[in-house]
Amino acid sequence: MAELSTITTHRNGPIQPLAKPGENVGVWLAAAWHWYEVIRLEPWQPSNAGIQNFGAIVAGANVNATLATTLEFDTNRVAQLRCMVLDDIRVRVFQPGAAGKFVNVDAHSEIGLLSAQIDPDAALTEFYVFEDKQPLFRIENPTGYNLAQSRVMFWGIQYLLKPLAAEPARATKLMGTGLAG
């Protein structure tokens, strides 16, 4: 079995699995690691089905953090996801709702149209969703005109998992929340 890093991270370039069937993952949720063996995995394609429209936003306004309902996965599944915006919006991620993801002391970094130009594989947008623990997205219209829609497209890989009773000797760790979650 190939050795996997035990450091939580995305990998640069197009999305690729962080763990293969037979390998182990840890998912960080509710301030604890939960351990699983990967049974199978399959892609979640960038497509119409993976687009969530957060609705119309008037010039300069924002939509408060809204659950990404398109990203609910079944029992014992975790998804490794990336995203890009399709409209001229700025997106802040919260996971869980009370905790910002991609934040530092003073600022909350955002995903926007320019993100795809600087980070074409959307590697820096990567996040992980365990079952129904979806992130929330705050959408801002930075423009001087009203937007009729505010769309974000998600894609990635979902893993079918088998719970493990104890921490395995080696596992890839996936953050199911922001650092503060």
Partner 1 sequence: MATSLDPRPGLTKSHPVALLVTVATPVTVFTRSATGMARTVKVKKIFVSNGSPSFATVDVGTGLAGAFVASFPRIRVEAGMHETISGDQLPNLELAANVTASAIVAAGIGAGDLAVRVQLEVEEIGG
> Where on the chain is the footprint of partner 1 (CB under 8 A)?
59-60, 88, 90, 110, 112-114, 117-118, 140-145
For partner 1, the closer of residues 47 and 64 by Cβ is: 64
Q: How far is the CB of 160 from partner 1 (least distance, A)?
A: 37
Instruction: Name the residue among 169, 170, 174 with its Cα closest to residue 159.
Output: 174
For partner 1, the closer of residues 99 and 113 by Cβ is: 113
Q: How far is the CB of 142 from partner 1 (least distance, A)?
A: 4
For partner 1, the closer of residues 50 and 112 by Cβ is: 112
User: Is the Cβ–Cβ distance between 158 and 42 less than 8 Å?
Assistant: yes
User: Is the Cβ–Cβ distance between 35 and 143 less than 8 Å?
Assistant: no
For partner 1, the closer of residues 131 and 140 by Cβ is: 140
Q: How far is the CB of 114 from partner 1 (least distance, A)?
A: 5
Contacts of residue 110, defined as CB under 8 A and 6 or more positions apart, other chains included, come to 90, 91, 92, 140
- Expressed in angstroms, the distance from the first to the final Cα of the chain is 32
Q: How far is the CB of 145 from partner 1 (least distance, A)?
A: 6
Sign of CA dihedral 167, 32, 69, 178: negative
Q: How far is the CB of 39 from partner 1 (least distance, A)?
A: 40
User: Is the Cβ–Cβ distance between 119 and 1 less than 8 Å?
Assistant: no
Q: Are strands 136-140 and 127-130 parallel, antiparallel or unpaired?
A: unpaired
For partner 1, the closer of residues 34 and 90 by Cβ is: 90
